[in-house]
Structure 1
Amino acid sequence: METANIQSVAEKNIVSVALANIQPSSYNPRKYFDEVSLAELAESIRQQGVLQPIGVRPIDESGKFEIVFGERRYRASLLAGLEEISAILLNVSDETAAEMAVTENLQRKDVTPIEEANAYQKLIESGRYDVQSLAVQFGKNENYIRTRLKFVSLIPEIAELLEKDEITISVASEICRYGTDIQKEVYDKHLKADSYNSWRGLKAAEVAKFIEQDFTTDLSRYAFDKTLCASCPHNTNNMMLFCEGGCGNCANRSCLAEMNASYLVEKALQFVEQYPSVSLGYQDFNNNVVAVERLTAMGYEVEHLNTYATAYPETPVAPEKEEYDTIEEYEQAYKEYEQDFSNYMEKCRSIHERIDTGELTFYICIGQKEITLRYKASATVNANEATEKTLSPMEKLEKQDERNKEIAREKTVEDTKKQILDVDMSESKFTQDEEKMIYFFLLSSLRKEHFEIFGIEEKEVYQHLTDEEKMDIIANLTAKQKAVIRRDFLIESFKGAYGSNAAATLLLDFARKHMPDTLAGIESEYNEVYEKRHKRIEERKAVLLVKEQQEKQTEAAETEETQVTAEAQPEALPQPEETAA
């Protein structure tokens, strides 16, 4: 190794170098120099000189030198007023120079834990060391090296506290087990100088307990498969020497959220397959936004339930004999179970009857941690709709498909209205199409930001043009002013655009003329969602069609079997006629 030969070469290359020709290096792991101790060293150098040479290497052919090690002696010599310093002239590569600087700093007695951590990290990143070789090189055990390496992950605020001995190494060791998000919260709430509930001065075990209690999540509260969590380093069961068993707590919030959302999406799809005619939905509270967004992106319509939906009854669980001390207790429990099950079946029957009549609507509800079946009162229908026959599953899907297409149109119209308000078209030529549009709307409204164009001073928000002001404007309109008025008239009128009404059609025509790229983006977004939903509905319709065909085949087979059975029966013998008396 190149570093191993430095000591023998160094003794032959000691020279005197002008301080003016020396500059510090960028790879020195030591970033903090105590001013008091530096002043004390400077005074010692004034009295006795520099007792140990620093290490430098030449910078190209410029006559300048870069410090390899000994920057503190260099700084103190500047303070002492020296012009030259004894230096070992080294001809080494960048990698070796960086390694020597790190190694030399690690041999100092006053190296801080953070400086030590950064130094070990740099040596490992050089590719020449691992934890085992570092332990041998510096006479440390491997656990010591690993603990120091963890300090690299400390956020700067907590690292500074450790540098200044305001928290102990043991406390820092507990904190660095967690991600930056938790570290930031711990610092803001409990380690800042003005923290109300400060943890400074607490023992490491207490800090570990409080972090787990206040900043991690109990995995047992989640329903997803936690097999991978059992061996995860972010599971508190694997972070502490002693744990209370169970699933443990999760310290990786982003991973926890991802595992939960993936589970919810997968289970929702299973429910959809099991109940193809039931709609997906979510409530204002206890929902998972990520799961809802993913299902929507996959083409499923997830309805926002603006009123509370009741959970579908849970099936009673039959008692087990092993759970009871006597047969009498078991029999009593079983009787209660039978009564509960009877009540459960009656309640389910009542719910389904009301669903069949349209009084209630069934939903697969996306919760925060679980997917549940829920139901709620259906929206009020008008008298004509109330008299219509109950729709078949196929008709319901077709009606839902129509509604999905309407939603795509409605969303497009809504977003287009928002975009038009931000587009200034006062300088562009008024087109014939716009001229036609102007006659459609009956009222016009000049936007306040255009008052200045007509020489009208700025008004309060609630003030509008008076009739006299309007008359003055009309009397002397320029071509530009006319265009502004007509376009403002249109823009104001477009606020009434909705779904497939005439105003919405004109709105989209207007946007296609002045902002085609923006409109194309809006239409593409919602049409893509519709196409996905349309595809899903077609798949569900195909499933229903297969079921209907199977039912018809079964019905036909039963009818045929009935006919064959009837034909196989012997004909009734004719009764003899009565003989006349």
Structure 2
Amino acid sequence: MSQQGRPAVVRMIPVDQIEVINPRERNSRVFAEIVDNIKAIGLKKPIVVTPRATANGIERYLLVCGEGRLKAFRALGESNIPALVVSVSDEDAFIMSLTENIARRQYRALELLAGIRDLQERGYAPKAIAEKTGLSTQYVQGILMLLRHGEERLVIAVEKGKIPLNAALSIVGAGDSDEAIQAALQDAYDSGKLRGRQLMDARRIIERRKVLGRMAGRNMPRKAPDVTSSSLVRTYQREVGRQKAMVKKAEFTQQRLLFVVGALRQLFADENFVNLLRAEGLATLPKYLAERVWPGGSAA
């Protein structure tokens, strides 16, 4: 039965009469496998569509589920495709399509992010989104909190399993203060939220987030903002802030290097220390450091 009480039936539908209401990008390798599979053994599962009347009397359909299969049929030059025809509203068709994409076993983190955002923008509460997608309410609430703060980079890290959700929320709660963020990382480590590789991944993500910003990149589907004088000023200020942060980090690194060079010069001035290093076979330095410790690049 369809969502509106009418029995769903499988029919052969012309592929050129089907409109995709929630298109998404697809991995070329995966798509090629779908095409090859359908070419070899046929369509194992029909697509799902819902009919729509048109002014000229030509029957049209909105695709609810099965975009990959539909594209494969078109790529194979097929004119008709088996489809399960259901009667649902435009809103329900979009939601069914969206949640089917989110609930797939293999999805891209950006697709999940976009799907949850779309459901929220359509007025769905976290509990309703969780019910429609099979995700936990706590997980959806956490993702939505990250999205409200524009933390797409952290959302993707969570989806890829690089860091746990509760650790990402701790990082966001720390704000923009480097000290507070480092304290949040330390707390996450002490509490067992971040250990080993995850701690290293978290540090890399925070560094990229600091330098490149919180947004994930070009692939995230979102409306292009209007360019205004104030937005240009904000963009300029953000870029200046990033440049200042890079300069500050470079200066800090240079100070550390000068400290190391000074310390090595003092140590290598001690003959007893040098003899000990020679006895252990450690009397040489990397060329970069040697050129700074000794003017000629080697011990006199």
The alignment's TM-score, normalised by the length of structure 1, stands at: 0.27
Task: Find the structure with the greater CA-based Rg.
Answer: 1
